[in-house]
């Protein structure tokens, strides 16, 4: 089967639009822009680094612009879908992740777990279809390195966590929420690197890859 990179890019953008539309309808414009920055921008930056700087994997024959665009919209879709599924599971009647105590961290944690479970199905199929190629060979699960699932867990925990903490400030303006979301990118990148190193170190200590 020959991978259709144009179709997968269009699909990624199309699926992201209803997610953003739902966030806009439910939370408003400022929180939607903050969500775009932390769920799309932060995660795309980290995935871009993994692909082009660390060179853990590649999308065969695709430009850096294509890769960044695809992962930007793809992470928005994944983050939003898993986030609201986690909220639906955890939130009590009459509350949501912005009002119920402790959901500010419980929802991101469940979001990351749901995302990892989904990727257990997505990644083997995508690799077999030729959409991306891993340069680091895993020894546990279909040749896919466990660092991939660590990455999914870390990104899908930190991005929703940052967004919920920003969105809970209901009175903040467009400008303030955008500035805070942009300012959060640096600590998010640092936190993701540190957390990934710790988790990958534990996996390596266990003799797994």
Q: How much is the average pLDDT of 193-202?
A: 96
Residue 1 pLDDT > 80: no
What is the arithmetic mean of pLDDT over 154-181?
Answer: 97
Predicted confidence (pLDDT) at residue 60 exceeds the cutoff of 70: yes
CA–CA separation, 185 and 11 (whole Å)? 26
How far is residue 139 from each of residues 147, 148, 201, 205, measured CA to CA in Å?
A: 11, 12, 16, 14
Model confidence pLDDT, tens digit, residues 98-114: 999 999 999 999 999 99
Q: Mean pLDDT, to the nearest integer, of 179-202?
A: 97
- Judged by average pLDDT, the poorest of 14-28, 53-67, 99-113 is 53-67
What's the rounded mean pLDDT across residues 136-163?
Answer: 96
Cα–Cα distance measured from residue 77 to residue 195, given in angstroms and rounded to the nearest whole number: 23
Contact between 163 and 38 (Cβ < 8 Å): yes
pLDDT score, position 199: 97
Residue 2: the pLDDT is: 82
Q: Collapse the DSSP code of 133 into the 3-class scheme (helix H, G, I; strand E, B; otherwise coil) and give the result.
A: strand
Q: Which helix (H) or strand (E) holds 135?
A: none
Domain boundaries, the chain: 5-205
Examine the pLDDT at 20 and tell me if it is beyond 90: yes
User: What is the Cα–Cα distance from 62 to 60, expressed in whole angstroms?
Assistant: 6
Burial class (CB in 10 A: 0-12, 13-18, 19+), 124: middle
pLDDT, tens only, 65-88: 999 999 999 999 999 999 999 999
Name the average pLDDT for the chain: 95
- What is the distance between the alpha carbons of residues 12 and 189, in angstroms, rounded to a whole number? 23
In this prediction, residues 119-144 reach a mean pLDDT of: 94
Question: Is pLDDT above 70 for 96?
Answer: yes
Residue 144: strand pairing partners = 141
Helix crossing, 174-183 with 146-167: angle to 10°? Answer: 150
Q: How far apart are CA 154 and CA 159, in angstroms?
A: 8
CB 76 within 8 A of CB 146: no
Q: For residues 115 and 148, give the distance between their C-alpha atoms in angstroms, rounded to a whole number.
A: 12
């Amino acid at each position: 089967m020959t991978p259709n990179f144009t179709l997968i890019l269009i699909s990624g953008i199309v699926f992201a639009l209803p997610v953003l539309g739902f966030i806009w309808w439910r939370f408003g414009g400022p929180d939607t822009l903050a969500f775009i920055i932390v769920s799309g921008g932060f995660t795309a930056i980290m995935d871009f680094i993994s692909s082009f700087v660390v060179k853990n994997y590649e999308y065969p024959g695709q430009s850096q612009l294509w890769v960044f665009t695809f992962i930007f919209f793809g992470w928005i879709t994944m983050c939003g879908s898993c986030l609201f599924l986690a909220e639906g599971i955890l939130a009590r009647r009459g509350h949501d992740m912005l009002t119920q105590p402790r959901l500010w961290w419980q929802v991101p944690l469940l979001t990351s777990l749901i995302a990892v479970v989904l990727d257990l199905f997505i990644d083997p199929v995508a690799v077999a279809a030729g959409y991306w190629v891993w340069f680091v060979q895993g020894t546990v699960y279909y040749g896919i390195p466990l660092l991939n699932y660590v990455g999914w867990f870390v990104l899908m925990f930190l991005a929703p966590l940052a967004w919920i903490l920003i969105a809970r400030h209901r009175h903040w303006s467009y400008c303030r929420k955008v500035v805070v979301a942009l300012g959060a990118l640096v600590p998010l990148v640092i936190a993701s690197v540190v957390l990934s190193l710790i988790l990958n170190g534990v996996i390596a200590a266990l003799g797994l890859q």
